[in-house]
Amino acid sequence: MIRIRLLFFHVLPAWAHEIRIVSLDQDSRRIDTTEHGGAVKRWNHAITVEPSQGGTRYTDEIDIDAGPLTPLVWAYAHLFYRYRQLRWRRLARTL
């Protein structure tokens, strides 16, 4: 289990978030985690990395339950992962 303190926009302190790695499958190149913290009751996350035409395909799958705040948390997750994908692409160009 990993416990971290979230910071919004790298500045604003948020809640403590707990991450537990459920499985790590090297053959399928997949990591599954269960996470929770603050208003988020469940944030199940699967990361898959696979070869793709001359590159790599990185996929995030997320199952979120934050009660009545789920739509807001979903919107945050959507923006967060789009931003992270942008950062991965910028990093990949430098390698």
Distance CA 10, CA 13 (A): 8
Confidence of residue 5 (pLDDT cuts 50, 70, 90): confident
Show Cβ contacts of residue 26 under 8 Å, excluding neighbours closer than 6 positions: none
Confidence of residue 55 (pLDDT cuts 50, 70, 90): confident
Q: In the prediction, which pLDDT does 54 show?
A: 82
Whole-structure pTM value: 0.79
Q: Is residue 1 part of a domain?
A: no
Question: Could you tell me the sign of the dihedral formed by the alpha carbons of 9, 76, 67, 43, in that order?
Answer: negative
Q: Is residue 55 part of a domain?
A: yes
Contact present, 49 and 58 (Cβ < 8 Å): yes
Domain count, the chain: 1
Q: Which domain holds residue 46?
A: 20-90
